Amino acid sequence: MKQLKQFAFIALFLGTSIFQGCKKDDRPEAEPELPQAERKGIYVLCEGLFNANNTSLSYFNYEDRSLITDKFASVNGRGLGDTGNDMKIYGSKMYIVVNVSSTLEIVNPHTGASIKKLDLKQNNVGRQPRYITFNSNKGYISNFDGTVAVLDTASMEIEQYIKVGRNPEQMAIANGKLYVANSGGLDYPNYGNTVSVIDLKTLQETKKITVGENPRGVVADQYGDVYVLSTGNYADVKSSMTTIDSKTDQVKTAVNFSGGSMVISGDYGYIPASGGKLKVFNVKTEQLEKENFITDNTKITSPYGLAVDELTGEVFVTDAKNYTTGGEVFCFDKEGKKKYSITVGINPNNVVFINK
Amino acid sequence: MEKRLLSLVFTLFVSAGLFGQADTSNVLKEVSVRFVLPQNVHSLNPAQQISARDFKSLAAYNVADAIRNFSGVNIKDYGGIGGLKTVSVRSLGANHTGVQLDGVQTSDAQNGQIDLGKINLDNVASITLYNGHSAELLQPARAYSSASMLVIKSLAPQFADDKKQRVKLGFKTGSFGLLHPNILWQRQISKRSYLNVNSSWQKSHGRYKYKVDGDGSDTLATRTNAQLSTMQSDAAWYWNGADSNRLQFRINYSQSSRGLPGAVVYYNPYSNQHLWNRDLFLQSSYQHHFPNKLQFLVNAKFAHNYLRYTDPDYLNQAGILDQRFKQTELYESVALSYPISGIWELSLASDLTYNKLDMDLYNYAYPSRLTAFSALTSKFLFNRLSIHATLLNTTITEWVEKGTASPSKSIWSPTISATYKPFDQTDLQFRLFYKDIFRNPTFNDLYYTRSGRRDLKPEYAEQYNAGLTYSKTFNTFVYFLSLTADAYYNNVKDKIIAIPNKDLFTWTMMNLGKVDIRGLDLGIKTKSALGRQLDFSLSGNYTYQQAIDVTDPKSSVYLHQIPYTPKHTVAINAGISSKRSGVYYNHILSTSRYYLSENLPQYYVPGFSVSDLSLSHQLETKYPISFTAEVNNLFNQSYAFIRSFPMPGRSLRLSFQITI
């Protein structure tokens, strides 16, 4: 395993050095504005266990440092359901994608109260929604049934379903286009290897770009590059990273890379990696910046999810531990030193920040 | 701890010795028409038995129902008429419970668990659960190979002198749209040979109402996709020689088609998963007694099981998940027993089992396994003391078509049991047993593509038991009383568990668990007269189990009770019967459990208390007719053994049988 990882790193460096010509020197026109509001607390989505209906929403209140382990259930008198997979805040609402229950919960983040529960089903069969992303008052939800649902965030209705590839996972938006990873994850060993490109004006799939096998993670940087992280087939095909230039929709680089998902903040992409490490990838130089972001020997058993508070620079890493017992969320400062940690529900995968 | 438990048992039950001491065979004879003494009270290892005549008093429909009152038993019932039902004995896990049908073990090399819900009671004469194994000296080596053994005996024809043929027609109907006819035909073909043919059909829509907790709904939901359709046929030929030599041949075929309702997932409770089974086995047994008291027993079996599973809602390219599994088993056993002297008997048994599994899974290993069991048992019978010691060797060799097979292993498993009867006049007996056994990893544990690990070690279960048994027949209105009490300490090491490795998509089997189990089983049985015509019977079992995870002192689950293991379980059965009629009430109480290994309030599963009622009546006409009405879950409790798999509310079953 260790050898394998080393191989992946060598391959990564080789790969990036070949494409040195694509180095990014152009700065974006303006520094992104820091949010002015102050944080009130964080929500942590804990997916729970498959078929156990125990997805929970932990709320950590910054003001009195109090923790509510299942805010959603205590406010709404019912559970979120089975396998909550993604959570984001957009505008004044919080959106929670619940995979096996096949629902989208639209929640008031200040109270935790559900505003609406949308069913994502076709003829009683769950579409198995996975992720959600937003652009211009529309939400885009990838569904395992090979579709992306288009949500109008004002009316809170699904307006249409766009057909994409097999078992789509993460999505990213760049240059007015939506990039969707078609994992084909339910067709082992015949995984997918494409990313669908959807023009957000026409809401049509315009092309499919070939990427590494079993793509799951998709993320865009501020320079217009889209990074696709593929898991491989657990055997001869290794995990990989494909970089797509969203201007041309051409593949820039494709290298072996270990890590299944990346969260980008500014020029840095954070990648939860095996061995409890948090790799840092520089999206400007396209080089691995650091083997481990954590500098104070804090032990994380199974890094599972990640979020960066753009306001404070704090990095939150969720630890799924042994994936069957309660998880933990670690808060690190910019330098990678642990500030504190909180104990949450099973398999914490997402952290969102609530403003005052 | 063991010592403390043991002394508690002793103080509790030494008082039992104070009961009166007079009983005469005279009384026994006289009352024998009104009761049958409970079997297996004074067994070497703890044993609990139920026979066909008691099935109705328990309102039992299948083998799992029939044994749910046994102490130390933890049934995992996934609910509904077609739902999976397995049994874990003394917290060791269902894979440690062996199931034996007419002397030959019935096994599942793929999963290692037998669905007891699949065995209906139409053709069952008795069911006995042995902790450890039976004290029978002449038995196959494989009978020693499980931590506990559930022994099922089929009906065998017995004819009065003038009769040559008997036909029993039965019909059951009731809730869940149940239609269940069965026919039993018994015939004496020659002076010494008999035929027993049984066939039954079962059809049910399986739907029932249940309450969902936690999804905010306030109405009852309906469990759907729970339909069941089965057919079972069994033919057995018996030959009983003059010198108690016996030959038996059996062929059994069953097929079933059932919907799998799945877990009740909040907001998405529908399932279209389906399971088909086609199972065939042929089994034969021959027992010979030589004049010099040497006995031998030969058993052979061929079994073929076909299973197909589909999920039409699976979101893959084909639009369906469709898996087929085929298992083949070949088995033979030779056992010998010989009394060397009046106090010393020896037995030697040697078995071979061949298993093969075939499934349409990508990159599958296609494993096959040859297991050789050899057991040497020595039995000493002194005045009041008897000692049984068995040494079992299990040698396992596996082959695969792809990759490397799991390494061969040879494991020695000792058992030692002793009973001591301190008084001649009093039926009081002490017993002790120790058994060290293992369960081999299943084919799925070892070879399932991606999750299996071929270097898995066996999972070991060690058992220590100390108990006492007491029984007495009386010459008063009370016919008999029997009491059993056993305290035990078990431990499981190298427990095979699945853990996600790297991410939730990749689970791997690991030898990663240690469990420490301390328990107490108490049982009481009594029957007494209630006026001139009526009898009152009462049986009760109590189980205390502390089964804690001792894998890793640093883990958050250290010293927590293992999932789905109640601390206290009480089962009571009481009945009033006359010669022709009976009314029985059954009650099971289970305290709360946790559904995960972390004993936190959010993973709490409340206890339950469920009652059943049964009424039966027989008409002694030319062709005897019997009627039974059974109500399960009399008070319509909403409960579940397994979270997200709700059990049905009140349900009714009516049975009718005529003997021609």
Distance CA A72, CA A59 (A): 9
* pLDDT of A15: 37
Q: Of B316, B557, B644, which has the smallest distance from its Cβ to A53's Cβ?
A: B644
Q: pLDDT tens, B598-641?
A: 999 989 999 999 999 999 999 988 899 999 999 999 999 999 99
Number of domains in chain A: 1
Judged on CB neighbours under 10 Å (0-12, 13-18, 19+), B475 is middle
With pLDDT > 90 as the criterion, what percentage of chain B qualifies? 75
Cis peptide before A189 (omega within 30 of 0): yes
The pair of three-digit structure tokens given for residue B355, joined into one six-digit string: 């298993």
Mutate to test the interface with A, among B212, B213, B315, B605 (most CBs of A within 10 A): B315
Q: How much is the pLDDT for A5?
A: 39
Cβ-nearest to A323 among B266, B500, B556: B500
- Domain contains A64: yes
- Number of Cβ within 10 Å of residue B391's Cβ equals 15
CA count, 13 A, side-chain hemisphere, B566: 24
Q: For an interface test with B, give the residue of A142, A323, A344 to mutate (most B CBs within 10 A).
A: A323
pLDDT at B390: 97
Q: What is the average pLDDT across A23-34?
A: 45
Q: Which of residues 325 through 344 in chain A touch B, CB cutoff 8 A?
A: 325-326
In a domain, A107, yes or no: yes
User: B226 pLDDT exceeds 90?
Assistant: yes
pLDDT at B505: 61
Q: What is the pLDDT of residue A30?
A: 42
AA letter at B337 = S
In a domain, A311, yes or no: no
Amino acid at A352: V
- Using the beta-carbon criterion (under 8 Å), do A126 and B596 form an inter-chain contact? no
- How many CB contacts within 8 angstroms connect chain A with chain B? 114
Is the pLDDT assigned to residue B32 strictly greater than 90? Answer: no
B360 in contact with A, Cβ within 8 Å = no
Name A139's Cβ contacts closer than 8 Å, sequence gap at least 6: A90, A95, A132, A133, A150, A151, A152, A153
pLDDT value, residue B9 = 34
Q: Which residues of B touch A145 (CB under 8 A)?
A: 315
pLDDT for residue B429: 94
Residue whose token pair is 């049964």: B614
Interface predicted TM-score (ipTM) of this complex, two decimals = 0.87
| A121 to B500: CB separation less than 8 angstroms, yes or no | no
Predicted pLDDT at B242: 81
DSSP class of residue B527?
A: E
For chain B, the farthest-separated pair of C-alpha atoms sits apart, in whole angstroms, at 77
Residue-wise pLDDT for A75-132, tens only, equals 999 999 999 999 999 999 999 999 999 999 999 999 999 999 999 999 999 999 999 9
Q: What is the mean pLDDT of chain B?
A: 90
A273 Cβ under 8 Å from any chain B Cβ: no
Scored b (16 or more CB within 10 A) or e, B186-212 reads: bbbeeeeebebbbbbebbbbbbbebeb
State the Rg of chain A over Cα: 19
Instruction: Please tell me which residue, B203 or B242, carries the higher pLDDT value.
Output: B203
Range of the domain at A67: 3-25+37-265
Whether residue B323 lies within 8 A of chain A, CB to CB, comes out as: no
- Is position A85 within any domain? yes
> Which are the contacts of A283, defined by CB distance < 8 A and separation ≥ 6?
A24, A221, A222, A223, A225, A227, A264, A267, A268, A269
* B503, pLDDT greater than 60: no
The CATH number corresponding to B2-156+167-298+306-317+325-659 among 2.40.170.20, 3.40.50.10490, 1.10.357.10, 2.60.40.420 equals 2.40.170.20
Q: What is the mean pLDDT of residues A284-293?
A: 92
For residue B562, give the nearest of B471, B613, B497, B639 by alpha carbon: B497
Closest to A79 (Cβ–Cβ): which among B215, B272, B502? B215
Q: What integer pLDDT is reported at residue B53 of this predicted model?
A: 86
Query: What letter would DSSP give residue B436?
Result: E
Whether the CB of A145 is below 8 Å from some CB of chain B: the reply is yes
CATH number at residue A179: 2.130.10.10
Answer yes or no: is pLDDT of B10 > 90: no
What's the whole-number mean pLDDT along residues B141-158?
93
Chain B: residue whose CA lies nearest to A273: B502
Give the model's confidence band at B151: pLDDT under 50 very low, under 70 low, under 90 confident, else very high: very high
pLDDT of residue B222: 94
Please give, rounded to a whole number of angstroms, the shortest distance from the CA of A75 to a CA of chain B: 11
Average pLDDT rounded to a whole number, residues A154-182: 97
Residue B433: phi and psi, rounded to 5, are -150, 150
Do strands A263-265 and A250-256 pair parallel, antiparallel, or not at all (unpaired)? unpaired
Kindly compute the dihedral angle of the four CA atoms of residues B95, B97, B102, B105, in this order, to the nearest 10 degrees. Answer: 30
The answer, yes or no, to whether residue B140 has pLDDT greater than 90, is: yes
Which chain A residues have a beta carbon less than 8 Å from that of B502? 274
Shortest alpha-carbon distance between residue B271 and chain A (Å): 8
B450, B504, B602: residue with CB nearest A323: B504
Of A69, A79, A187, the CB nearest to B266: A79
What percent of chain A is predicted at pLDDT more than 70? 90
Partner B contacted by A77 (CB < 8 A):
yes
B216, B266, B602 ranked by CB distance to A70: nearest:
B602
The whole-angstrom distance between residue A304's C-alpha and the CA centroid of its chain comes to 10
Residues 231-250 on A with a CB inside 8 Å of B are 231, 234-235
Quick check: B216 and A77 CB within 8 A? yes
Q: Which of residues 275-334 of A touch B (CB under 8 A)?
A: 320-326
Residues in CB range of A110: below 8 A, 6 or more apart: A354
Helix (H), strand (E) at residue B31: helix B25-31
Query: Band of the pLDDT at B549, cuts 50, 70, 90?
Result: very high
Q: What is the DSSP letter of B457?
A: P
Confidence of residue A32 (pLDDT cuts 50, 70, 90): very low
What whole-number percentage of chain A has pLDDT above 90?
Answer: 80
Cβ atoms of A160 and A140 within 8 Å: the answer is: no
Average pLDDT, chain A: 89
Is the pLDDT assigned to residue B12 strictly greater than 60? no
Residue where the block lists tokens 């935790």: A112
**C-alpha dihedral over B318, B268, A45, A113, to 10 degrees?**
150
**Contact check, Cβ <8 Å, B268/A102:** yes
Q: Is residue A274 part of a domain?
A: no
> Across residues A10-36, what is the average pLDDT?
42
In a domain, A249, yes or no: yes
Our CA-based measurement puts residue A262 at a distance from the nearest CA of chain B, in whole angstroms, of 15
CA distance B317 to chain A (A): 7
Residues of A in contact with B218 (CB under 8 A): none
pLDDT over 70 at B588, yes or no:
yes
Quote the pLDDT of residue A8: 39
Q: Where are the domains of chain B?
A: 2-156+167-298+306-317+325-659
Record: contact B557-A102, CB cut-off 8 A: no
Helices (H), chain A: 2-18, 71-76
What number is the average pLDDT over the span B376-403? 95
Identify the pLDDT of residue B6: 37
pLDDT at B504: 57
The pLDDT value given to residue B34: 58
Whole-number percent of chain B with pLDDT over 70:
93
Residue B320 scores a pLDDT above 90: yes
Average pLDDT on A275-301 reads 92
Closest CA to B587 of B641, B548, B648, B633: B633
Q: Tell me what pLDDT residue B161 has.
A: 65
Alpha carbon of residue A26 to chain centroid: 26
Provide mean pLDDT across the span A151-168. 97
Ramachandran assignment for A9, one of left (phi > 0), alpha (psi -120 to 50 degrees), beta (any other): alpha
Task: Please give the model's pTM, rounded to 2 decimal places.
Answer: 0.89
- Mutate: best of B225, B266, B600, partner A, most A CBs <10 A: B266
Pick the range with the lowest mean pLDDT from B16-25, B155-164, B507-516. B16-25
Segment A11-23 shows an average pLDDT of 39
Angle at B530 (CA atoms; ends B524, B536), nearest 5 degrees: 30
